[in-house]
């Protein structure tokens, strides 16, 4: 019975957070569709998928040096006809930590498996300058701006093989982000490119959790959340594949 009470306690926060993620994804795909509808301005519309590694920099590195992670990104862009300028957008997802406590959680909740995932999603728009160097590859520079959504979510199960009986967000925060990036596109054939790039992004003050900032108090039988606060500045390296979609 207590497990259902916990579900009721957290369901409102979960619905709100899921709606925020849906809004972010809808915004990205709406922008992407709008860009692709401008295809008559372009001869080089592209869409790509990358895997990436994210490392902390600046204040975030000083406050949380062990924070790093991996994830993926989806990118779309269109070229302004007869120019080296592209307009586009990126939606990415990164997991920067995970924590598991399996066992006794006190007289109320009993014995269960509590998994926490520490994650981040970014919605970025960019202006890209990619001159044709006639060198068999295409270097570029990006100017990025957008929003950063950092969140920690919990998944509760009776055992590793059973479906979750509860899911909720422990913490989340939004911040504005901006920065620059650079990369190179290497043609594989007339329609496919290998994309290698990096970007460095800065944000405003962001509140977040890490695996080291969450602990279980066995006397009070509750989790203690030590919320961190700093600029969530990062360096991202990614590699992927890109296709022309004219």
Query: DSSP letters along 54-93, please?
Result: EEE-HHHHHH-TT--EEEEEEEEEEEPTTSSEEEEEEEEE
Phi-psi region of 38 (alpha: psi -120 to 50; beta: other; left: phi over 0): alpha
| Inter-CA distances, 4 with 1, 21, 214, Å | 5, 25, 23
The CATH number linked to 152 is 2.40.160.20
Task: Summarize the confidence of residues 109-113 as an average pLDDT.
Answer: 91
Residues in Cβ contact with 79 at an 8 Å cutoff, skipping those fewer than 6 apart: 41, 42, 43, 44, 45, 85, 86
Domain that holds residue 222: 2-244
Predicted confidence at residue 169, as pLDDT, reads 96
The pLDDT of residue 67 is 93
Tens of pLDDT, residue by residue over 207-243, are 999 999 999 998 898 999 999 999 999 999 999 999 9
Tokens representing 106 are 């006190």
Q: Is 59 exposed, middle or buried (0-12, 13-18, 19+ CB in 10 A)?
A: middle
Give the predicted TM-score (pTM) of the model.
0.80
Give the residues across from 212 on adjacent strands.
none
Q: How many domains does the chain have?
A: 1
| Whole-angstrom distance, CA of residue 17 vs CA of residue 168 | 9
Of 85, 78, 83, nearest to 42 by C-alpha is: 78
**Each residue's pLDDT tens digit, 46-83:** 999 999 999 999 999 999 999 999 999 999 999 998 88
Least confident of 41-55, 73-87, 112-126, 190-204: 41-55
User: What's the pLDDT score for residue 134?
Assistant: 80
């Amino acid at each position: 019975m207590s497990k259902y009470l916990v579900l009721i306690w957290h369901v409102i926060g979960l619905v709100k957070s899921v709606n925020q993620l849906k809004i972010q994804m809808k915004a990205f795909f709406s922008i992407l569709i709008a860009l692709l509808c401008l295809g008559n301005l372009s001869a080089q519309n592209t869409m790509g998928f990358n895997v990436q590694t994210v490392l902390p920099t600046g204040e975030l590195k000083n406050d949380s040096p062990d924070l790093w992670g991996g994830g993926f990104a989806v990118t779309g862009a269109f070229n302004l006809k007869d120019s080296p300028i592209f307009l586009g957008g990126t939606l990415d997802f990164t997991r920067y930590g995970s924590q598991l406590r399996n066992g006794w959680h006190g007289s109320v909740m009993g014995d269960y498996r509590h998994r926490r995932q520490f994650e981040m999603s970014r919605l970025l728009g960019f202006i890209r300058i990619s001159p044709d160097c006639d060198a068999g590859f295409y270097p570029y520079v990006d100017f990025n701006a957008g929003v950063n959504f950092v969140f920690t979510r919990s998944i509760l199960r009776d055992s590793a093989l059973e479906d979750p009986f509860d899911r909720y967000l422990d913490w989340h925060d939004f911040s504005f982000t901006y920065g620059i990036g650079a990369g190179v596109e290497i043609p594989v054939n007339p329609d496919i490119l290998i994309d290698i790039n990096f970007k460095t992004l800065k944000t405003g003050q962001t509140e977040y959790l890490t695996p080291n900032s969450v602990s279980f108090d066995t006397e009070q039988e509750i989790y203690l959340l030590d919320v961190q606060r700093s600029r969530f500045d990062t360096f991202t390296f990614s590699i992927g594949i890109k296709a022309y979609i004219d």
